[in-house]
A and B are shown apart, each in its own frame.
Chain A
Amino acid sequence: GAGVSQSPSNKVTEKGKDVELRCDPISGHTALYWYRQSLGQGLEFLIYFQGNSAPDKSGLPSDRFSAERTGGSVSTLTIQRTQQEDSAVYLCASSRQGGVSDEQYFGPGTRLTVT
């Protein structure tokens, strides 16, 4: 079956512009995660959606970052007034139910470059 997909695969934007990154999770997966990964670094947690529960936004680095998940499926991560330090690969992942033993399935990521 189809895996997690993300679009665009690459995005170059000018400092100060807004960007939207999209994630399509695996069908039927109720849990969805956003991470940021800078070059050579580990995964930085951003936000976590589980079913109809309020999202865990504890990892969002500033109020310029927001995310939504419509209809329990597709998610959009929005970065307003982008800064150069926002340049990174943004990874989306989904898991079946966000349960303790559920592994995460990752998308290919969106490489964001802010010039």
Chain B
Amino acid sequence: GQNIDQPTEMTATEGAIVQINCTYQTSGFNGLFWYQQHAGEAPTFLSYNVLDGLEEKGRFSSFLSRSKGYSYLLLKELQMKDSASYLCAVKYNTNAGKSTFGDGTTLTVKP
């Protein structure tokens, strides 16, 4: 299979930094996405990584190591509105159009 593994839940404090990890099977890897999903809402796109390294977008950054099959989403200066589920999704070259999603990490930001 092409298991995507993420922690189920994380808790962090407002203003802090949190790192959400995602590991995946490396064979046939063709790109990785992070999506944010607030409770009761649809997922929305956050970031895309295909090359090794860090992609920064404001308070959010995403890192990829292709050789290790590892990515993380880094959220800085946490705000209460960042409480949501964060979904890691991977594309494999067996079917370039389709993404395999992890089960998501539910982040709770506390005051």
B-contacting residues of A (Cβ < 8 Å)? 31, 33, 35, 40-43, 45, 48, 50, 56, 91, 95, 98-109
Contacts and interface: CB of A to CB of B under 8 A. Distances in A.
B97 interface: yes
B97 A43 contact: no
Contact of A45 (B30, B44, B98, B106): B98
A50 B98 CA distance: 10
Contacts of A104: 33, 35, 43, 45, 99
B18 to A, nearest CB: 19
A95 B31 CA distance: 15
Nearest to A97: B97
B96 A103 contact: no
Contact of B104 (A35, A42, A100, A105): A42
Interface in B52-100: 87, 89, 91, 95-100
Contacts of B97: 31, 48, 50, 56, 95, 98-99, 102
A103 B30 contact: no
Interface residues of B, number: 25
A106 B96 contact: no
Contacts of B104: 41-42
Given A48-B97, A98-B97, A99-B96, A109 B42 contact: yes
Contacts of A91: 42-43
Contacts of B42: 91, 106-109
Nearest to A108: B42
A108 B37 CA distance: 11
A75 B98 CA distance: 17
Given A99-B96, A100-B31, A105 B101 contact: no
A113 to B, nearest CB: 15
B50 interface: yes
Contacts of B98: 33, 45, 48, 56, 98
Contacts of B44: 106
Nearest 8 CB-CB pairings of A with B: A98-B97, A42-B103, A106-B42, A103-B45, A43-B101, A100-B96, A42-B104, A106-B43
